[in-house]
């Protein structure tokens, strides 16, 4: 395969990854690394570097649209970014030490978990909790517009949420994914933040988290321009397309199909990792 | 909640939204330009990413990337595009410091400075292997 063919095929694969990622809300990063390593035989470190760059592109692109709608909470985002960026730095340093076969196994487990989350119905956080003193002190409580008027919410369990975010950041730095799934779980389940706010705030945070590890990757020579070019442009095109058609698509069936794909890719990554072929 | 604060929040979020959009657009344009050049120059060479070699020194450091890009080396131009993309969220964080300062929110000015320092350390400090 020459570079021209390789670039074109990787671009097409990335468009599909970006499209599915944005339609299902799971992000393109989770399928991108397995796609590159399993089908294109790319070394996992190059794959993670390229994936990180594309994660920043989609997060920033989507956040540009979300911030204007008034759902995301910039204080929650900034406060938790202290945890995610520190975690991301740790993850990026770990990535330079951990053998690639172990990275493939961790990645596979993460995929299985994402597939499980995609199938699990979302628990609705209660409408009005008693204010948590720490959250009040940190000015995390907020409000967002709904058709019935402004809805206020109170944030809970700040220390747990903060620790989970550190873990999400580490995973993001180690595996080159946005780990939006973990971020949303931390905010929904632990901190009881309404889904609209948690999903948009998570998107807002993903770019900053990925930037924290991307710097380390760049300095360590893991970001190859020949690979990141088609990946970034493809994922970006796919996710822009995805947000355009989101309203018309049947996302329920799509989520089912996508979670099966993620499950299979996860098993394949674990197998390859165990067999030492990555 | 005072009206003043709400209004500033809205204003800041609009600027942040535009900043992010501009950053992504600019870097995509740079990457496309470098990419076309790259395919013209190397399109027929074999593609091989099986073995990890790491990038050459000039594609790993900020000054090296800028020098390469302005020397119109295609790989350097693409790398500059990636660098601009990585810089977009960093710029967003840097801008938020002014936003919080305008609201006289000292605690969040401090939080934002911490995040910015971590990001700058990753981009610049981690190069020296500290």
Complete DSSP assignment for A50-107: HHHHHHHHHHHHHHHHHGGGT-S-HHHHHHHHHHHHHHHHHHHHHHTTS-HHHHHHHH
Q: What residue of A is the nearest CA neighbor of B100?
A: A75
User: If we measure between CA atoms, which residue out of A75, A218, A189 comes closest to residue A135?
Assistant: A75
Q: How far apart are the CA of A124 and the nearest CA of chain B, in angstroms? A: 26
Question: Which of A49, A229, A52 is CA-nearest to residue B37?
Answer: A229
Work out the mean pLDDT of chain A and round it to a whole number: 87
Q: For every residue of B58-77, which 3-state class applies, written as one string?
A: HHCCHHHHHHHHHCCCHHHH
Please tell me the total count of domains within chain B: 1
pLDDT tens-digit profile of A166-223? 999 999 999 988 888 788 888 888 898 888 888 888 887 899 999 999 999 999 999 9
Name the minimum distance, in Å, from the CA of B4 to any CA of chain A: 16
Residue B85 lies in a domain: yes
Has residue B70 been placed in a domain? Answer: yes
**Chain B contact set for A88 (CB, 8 A):** 122
Task: State the pLDDT at residue A226.
Answer: 95
Say if B50 falls within a structural domain: no
Asked whether B123 and B85 are in contact (CB, 8 A), the reply is no
**For residue A61, how many C-alpha atoms fall within 13 Å in the half-sphere facing its CB?**
27
Whether A266 contacts A109, CB under 8 Å: yes
Specify the DSSP class assigned to residue A2: B
User: What local confidence, expressed as pLDDT, does residue B129 receive?
Assistant: 46
Substitution target in B47, B95, B129 with the highest count of A β-carbons within 10 Å is B47
The answer to whether position B47 is within a domain reads no
**B31 shares contact with chain A (CB less than 8 Å):** yes
Q: What is the pLDDT of residue A84?
A: 96
pLDDT attached to residue A247: 60
Average pLDDT over residues A255-259: 82
pLDDT of amino acid B109: 96
ipTM of the complex: 0.89
Distance CA A270, CA A265 (A): 9
Residue B48: inside a domain, yes or no?
no
Chain B segment 91-130 residues within 8 A of A by beta carbon are 92-93, 96, 99, 105, 107-108, 111-112, 114-115, 118-119, 121-124, 126-127
Rounded average pLDDT over A104-132: 77
Identify which of B13, B31, B59 has the shortest CB distance to residue A233: B31
The pLDDT > 90 percentage for chain A reads 50
Enclosing domain of residue B63: 3-42+56-128
First-to-last alpha carbon distance for chain A, in angstroms, is 20
* Residue B98 confidence class, pLDDT cut points 50, 70, 90: confident
- B chain contacts of residue A221, beta-carbon cutoff 8 Å: 54-56, 59-60
CB atoms within 10 A of CB B118: 23
Asked whether the whole model's pTM tops 0.80, one would answer yes
- Encoding tokens for residue A117? 């989350």
For A86, nearest residue in chain B (alpha carbons)? B118
Q: Which of A25-34, A169-178, A269-278 has the lowest mean pLDDT?
A: A25-34
């Amino acid at each position: 395969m020459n570079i021209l063919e390789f670039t074109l095929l990787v671009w097409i694969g990335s468009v599909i990854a970006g499209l599915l990622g944005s339609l299902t809300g799971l992000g393109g990063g989770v399928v991108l690394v397995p796609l590159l390593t399993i089908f294109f035989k790319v070394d996992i470190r190059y794959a993670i570097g390229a994936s990180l760059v594309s994660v920043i592109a989609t997060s920033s692109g989507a956040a540009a649209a979300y911030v204007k709608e008034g759902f995301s909470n910039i204080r929650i985002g900034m406060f938790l970014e202290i945890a995610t960026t520190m975690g991301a730095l740790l993850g990026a340093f770990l990535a330079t030490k951990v053998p690639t076969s172990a990275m493939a196994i961790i990645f596979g487990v993460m995929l299985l978990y994402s597939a499980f989350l995609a199938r699990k119905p979302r628990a609705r956080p209660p409408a009005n909790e008693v204010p948590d003193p720490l959250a009040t002190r940190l000015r995390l409580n907020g409000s967002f517009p709904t058709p019935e008027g402004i809805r206020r919410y109170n944030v809970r369990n700040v220390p747990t949420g903060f620790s989970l975010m550190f873990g999400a950041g580490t995973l993001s730095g180690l595996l080159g994914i946005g780990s939006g799934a973990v971020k949303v779980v931390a905010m929904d389940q632990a901190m009881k933040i309404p889904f609209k706010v948690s999903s948009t705030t998570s998107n807002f945070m993903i770019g900053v988290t990925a930037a924290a590890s991307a710097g380390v990757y760049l300095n360590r020579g893991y970001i190859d321009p020949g690979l990141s070019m088609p990946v970034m442009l493809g994922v970006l095109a796919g996710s822009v397309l995805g947000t355009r058609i989101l309203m018309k698509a049947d996302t329920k069936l799509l989520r089912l199909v996508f979670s099966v794909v993620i499950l299979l890719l996860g098993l394949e990554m674990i197998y390859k990792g165990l067999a030492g072929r990555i | 909640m005072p009206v003043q604060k709400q209004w500033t929040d809205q204003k800041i979020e609009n600027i942040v939204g535009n900043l992010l959009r501009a950053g992504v657009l600019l870097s995509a344009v740079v990457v496309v330009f470098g990419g076309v050049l790259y395919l013209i120059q190397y399109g027929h060479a074999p593609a091989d990413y099986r073995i990890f070699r790491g990038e050459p020194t000039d594609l790993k450091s900020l000054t090296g990337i800028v020098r390469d890009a302005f020397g119109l080396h295609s790989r350097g131009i693409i790398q500059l595009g990636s660098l601009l993309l990585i810089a977009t969220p960093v710029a967003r964080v840097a801008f938020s410091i002014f936003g919080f300062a305008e609201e006289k929110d000292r605690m969040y000015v401090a939080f934002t400075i911490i995040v910015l320092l971590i990001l700058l350390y990753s981009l610049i400090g981690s190069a020296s292997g500290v």
